[in-house]
A and B are shown apart, each in its own frame.
Chain A
């Protein structure tokens, strides 16, 4: 079985090499003469998918049958006995380093085959070269899979088995913390995003190689890019949910190197998407689009490198491996250098057709969008890598937070103003005419926010500061920044709603439709624009959530000894009722503490934080109790059951956290609207 896995990997590699060779040679022969050869390249691309699919199936089958001859299966199999066991058996495929690399390669193969399928009837130069570039990248991934530390088809050493019974004697299995629905979905969604960002890079390189500065390459890769970015976002969100619900420390983002790694391509992806918009609509930002494609791809490779190489000390424990390090370093730097050289050589073909004349133009807003996203990604990358690059220096969350506060507020402000600006140059009178209504509406909402800030949040500012920041300048700016953040968010929320409203009114008037019909028409017809507005609305709402749940968190600690004792968290009072302990069928021990809760004296039902002791891992995980309210969460943790039966508790009040999730859902919904397939003729 293990040899079947390696054989199919070898055949996938062979197919990829054949495809690269055929596509390159076919291109040399020319469109007419080379057609037969080029077709071989396309077919071989499907071959890569077939053989890598076979590899994934072999590994999946090994997990389903608990085949411990596979070292990877032995070290990543689940010991769960719940009815979700089959899910954890499947997720074993991407639970560890080797399997996730294979899974990722398989996804790249899927994207490559999708492009090949779409362009098979056209076989234009641009697509041929893009496919060749994609397959060169696949060769890198496949080669990495043959390195011992990455190979999922390694045979377990004989001494791992008990010589008398033949059973697995070493202790190894999937971490119980990973056995959660969000953790099953988080890696695959993230990897779909990572793999998808290969395609815009491949087309950018193809455009440089062919010397075609028209918007064709952007049209061919635009939707895949939005799709990839969407999944990247969903993956990051799922990771945050998992961290919040499972890890039990009360937050969802800790600026951990691995979290940062997934954020990098997402940030550059924002720049990439907006560059694509400029490219498609205004024939501008051409070099930016090429550059952001390359940077996003490099960020994806960097993300693997950070996650899997152990180059940065992280809570995610992965072993070191110099060989894959060089392989990924080559891929990462190679892509940047290749794009840089290509951009230099082709700078005339990729000269922007869009002139921009003033700083108060929409062009300038797009430009600053790119600058801020690129700089933000660069800062996060450098700070994350600094322990490896700059003599063991490590930046703490407060530094990240302060920069994020500043960049975030400036960025969202640009986002608010951008739709009101005109291309090239904005006339003052026109701007004010457009701005009047959203300014009034936004100011109304901002006033509500300010009242909310003053009455609800401000009293807890000191608690939030103490919990989150030791940086003097951050403490100084804490109150004003949080207020400004909420005010900017108010305008950011008002603006897209206004744009939908104004757009629908204008359309209704010109086409004689009803307001509702016109609104529907806008959403369904101008998808990328309305999806964009919806995403912007999501960002505004997220900002409200971030201000509350990152800047005004309150921590509480306490203990109860006997029924009737109380534990207070803000205006919540929890009265201890009882504790029960039960042994689950797989030997795990679940200890649940029951409380009745009252908010300002008004009963709000029971809360039951619990501790689950995993018998296999000899590790306890906390099942936190979260009281979800529209304006805040109360997060209650059973820290410890003492020998004398008393309980140690902690709680956090996370204001406005639901806005983060809601805004995120809208961001995803907006992106989905933009990427939803529509029938279009294949570009020739």
Chain B
């Protein structure tokens, strides 16, 4: 390669790289700049220091906090990284809602944090679970309690009948209880969401969730009527 051609080649390469770099920086100023991964708790504790910045934040959708009919749609997400945290974050979103959106689904939003602590989301994705739940093989209340030591903490499905007069309004830790056919074993159930239509005393239900380590209380993530 002759020297002149070489120098020109290097020169043009440098110009191309400079143009790409210029566009990169031009496209990443202000609102359009990079978003920062934050947790729900971090945003809740930020005391306004993050207002106006782009954030990417994810967490399970708070049951009953949303209504797909409203546009823009509003919903809240909670923190799944820090289990002890009670913080929630309000989100406003005006785009297409993904297929899998629903109570308890981990939603990841990109958006700008506003003064009132709401994220105005420009993008919403739901975390696509690699593995999904199966109702086949729901265990009985008796079976679950018998195998309490082995099953504690594992995702299981348990079926049983709602114990009469056990349902209390949301807010308290334990919402209702279920019992097996044998009516000897009773399982207390922790649940934040709204029970499905048709949920009443004596109804047969299938719960998804896990038994907490102390035993006795079932942390339900889903409640459905069994057919």
Residues of A within 8 A of B (CB): 75-76, 79, 96-97, 158-160, 162-164, 167-177, 247-250, 254, 256, 313, 315-318, 355-359, 364, 367-368, 371-372, 375, 379, 386-387, 391-399, 402-403, 406-407, 410, 467, 469-474, 555, 557, 559, 587, 614-622, 637, 639-640, 642, 648, 650, 652
Q: Which residue in chain A gives the minimum CB-CB distance to B130?
A: A317
Residues on B with C-beta less than 8 A from A407 are 20
Asked if B36 contacts A396 (CB within 8 A), the reply is no
User: 8 A-B pairs, CB-CB below 8 angstroms?
Assistant: A79-B134, A173-B131, A175-B132, A248-B99, A249-B99, A256-B125, A318-B130, A355-B1
Contact B127 A315 (CB under 8 A): yes
* A contact residues around B130 at 8 Å (CB): 96-97, 175, 316-318
Interface string of B76-120 (1 = CB under 8 A from A): 000000000000000000011111101000001010000000000
Which one of B21-29, B44-52, B167-175 contacts A?
Answer: B21-29
- At the interface, is chain A mostly helix, strand, loop or mixed? mixed
What residues of A have a CB within 8 angstroms of the CB of B132 in the complex?
171-176, 614, 616-617, 619
A91 to chain B, nearest CB (A): 14
Q: Are B32 and A621 in contact (CB under 8 A)?
A: no
Q: Are A357 and B5 in contact (CB under 8 A)?
A: yes
Q: Which of A173, A391, A392 contacts B133 (CB 8 A)?
A: A173
CA distance A398 to B31 in the complex (A): 11
Contact yes or no, B28 A395, CB < 8 A:
yes
Q: How far is the CB of A445 from chain B (nearest CB, A)?
A: 27
Give CA–CA (A364, B208) in the complex, Å. 62
The interface residues of chain B lying within 8 Å CB-to-CB of A621 are: 99-100
Q: In the complex, given contacts A470-B31, A473-B26, what are 19 additional A-B residue pairs having Cβ atoms less than 8 angstroms apart? A: A160-B154, A162-B137, A169-B156, A171-B132, A173-B133, A176-B132, A249-B96, A249-B98, A313-B56, A313-B58, A368-B13, A368-B16, A387-B37, A394-B56, A397-B123, A403-B20, A555-B96, A587-B227, A648-B68
| Cα–Cα, bound, A317→B98 (Å) | 16
Choose the segment among B145-153, B183-191, B212-220 that binds chain A (4+ C-beta atoms closer than 8 Å).
B145-153
Q: Residue B222 at the A interface, CB < 8 A?
A: yes
The answer to whether A616 and B135 touch across the interface, beta carbons within 8 angstroms, is: yes
Residues of A within 8 A of B28 (CB): 395, 399
- Whether the Cβ atoms of B17 and A375 lie closer than 8 Å is yes
| Cβ–Cβ contact B155 & A170, under 8 A | yes
- Set of chain A residues within 8 Å of B151, measured between Cβ atoms: 159, 169
B30 at the interface (CB under 8 A from A): yes
Of chain B, the residue at the smallest CB distance from A618 is: B222
Q: B64 interface residue, CB < 8 Å from A?
A: no
> Closest residue to A158 on the B side, CB-wise?
B150
A359 engages B58 (CB within 8 Å): no
Establish whether residues B100 and A618, one from each chain, have CB atoms under 8 Å apart when the complex forms.
no
Q: Nearest-CB distance from A69 to chain B (Å)? A: 15
Q: Are B137 and A167 interface neighbours, CB within 8 A?
A: yes
Docked Cα-Cα span, A346 to B97, in Å, equals: 56
Check if B194 is an interface residue, CB within 8 A of chain A: no
The 4 closest A-B pairs by CB, nearest first: A159-B150, A171-B133, A392-B37, A617-B132
The number of residue pairs between A and B whose CB atoms lie closer than 8 Å in the complex comes to: 220
Which of B's residues lie within 8 Å of A, judged by CB?
1-2, 5, 8-9, 12-13, 16-17, 19-20, 23-24, 26-32, 34-38, 54, 56, 58, 68-69, 71, 95-100, 102, 108, 110, 122-123, 125-137, 139-140, 143, 146-147, 150-151, 154-157, 208, 222, 224, 227
* Contact B147 A639, beta carbon cutoff 8 Å: no
Closest chain B residue to A388 by CB distance? B37
Distance A168 CA – B157 CA, assembled complex (angstroms): 11
Residues in chain B near residue A256, CB distance under 8 A: 125
Q: Hey, which chain A residues are within 8 Å of B126, CB to CB?
A: 315
The smallest C-beta distance from B155 to any residue of chain A, in angstroms, reads 6
CA distance A402 to B5 in the complex (A): 31
Classify the secondary structure of B's interface with A.
mixed
Q: Determine the distance from Cα of A75 to Cα of B154 in the docked complex, in whole angstroms.
A: 13
Q: How far is the CA of A384 from the CA of B147 in the complex (A)?
A: 44
| Residues of the A chain whose Cβ atoms lie less than 8 Å from the Cβ of B128 | 175, 177, 315-317
| Shortest distance between the CB of A315 and any CB in chain B (Å) | 5
- Name the A residues within 8 Å of B222 (CB-CB): 618
Contact call A359/B12, Cβ cutoff below 8 A: yes
Instruction: Decide if B69 touches A379 in the complex (CB within 8 Å).
Output: no
Instruction: Point out the residues of chain B lying under 8 angstroms from A619, CB to CB.
Output: 100, 102, 132
| Given the contacts A173-B133, A393-B34, A559 and B58 also touching, CB distance less than 8 Å | no
Q: Select from chain A the residue with minimum beta-carbon distance to B122.
A: A470
Complex-state Cα separation, A176 to B135, whole angstroms: 13
Question: Shortest Cβ distance from B20 into chain A, in angstroms?
Answer: 7
**Inter-chain contacts of A163 with B (CB < 8 A):** 143, 146-147, 150
Instruction: Tell me the smallest distance from the CB of B101 to a CB of chain A, in Å.
Output: 9
CA distance A96 to B131 in the complex (A): 8
CB pair A395–B9 under 8 Å, yes or no, is no
Specify the chain B residue showing the minimal Cβ separation from A637. Answer: B96
For A168, the closest partner residue in chain B by CB is B137
- The distance from the CB of B157 to the nearest CB of chain A, in whole angstroms, is 5
Given the interface contacts A76-B131, A172-B133, A616-B134, does A248 sit within 8 Å of B19 by beta carbon?
Answer: no
B69's contact among A359, A620, A640, by CB below 8 Å, is which? A640
Q: Verify B27–A402 contact, CB threshold 8 A.
A: yes
- Residue of A175, A395, A396, A642 with most chain B CB atoms under a 10 A cut-off: A396
Q: Are B32 and A471 in contact (CB under 8 A)?
A: yes
Question: Which of B20, B99, B127, B131 contacts A375 (CB under 8 A)?
Answer: B20
Q: Which residues of A contact B26 (CB under 8 A)?
A: 473
Q: From B152, which residue of chain A is reached at the shortest CB distance?
A: A159
Chain B nearest Cβ from A415, distance in angstroms:
15
Docked complex Cα distance between A79 and B227 (Å): 18
Q: A371 contacts B13, CB within 8 Å? A: yes
Contacting residue for B134 out of A172, A316, A371, A469, CB 8 A? A172
On whether A169 and B137 interact (CB within 8 A), knowing A313-B37, A395-B28, the answer reads: yes
- What are the residues of chain B within 8 A of A394 when measuring CB–CB? 34-37, 56, 110
A614→B135 CA distance, assembly (Å):
11
Residues from chain A with Cβ under 8 Å of B110 in the complex: 394, 396
A607 to chain B, nearest CB (A): 17
A614: chain B residues at CB < 8 Å are: 132
Q: Which B residues lie within 8 Å of A637 (CB)?
A: 96
- The answer, among A356, A371, A639, for a CB contact under 8 Å with B5, is A356
Contact yes or no, B27 A474, CB < 8 A: yes
Asked if residues A379 and B20 are in contact (CB atoms below 8 Å), the reply is: yes
- CB B219 to nearest CB in A, in angstroms, measures 14
How far is B35's CA from A387's CA once the two chains are assembled, in angstroms? 9
By the criterion CB–CB under 8 Å, are A175 and B16 in contact?
no
Across the interface, which residues of A come within 8 angstroms of B147, CB to CB? 159, 162-163, 169
Contact B16 A171 (CB under 8 A): no
CB-CB < 8 A to A167: which residues of B? Answer: 136-137
Nearest CB on B from A519, distance (A): 37
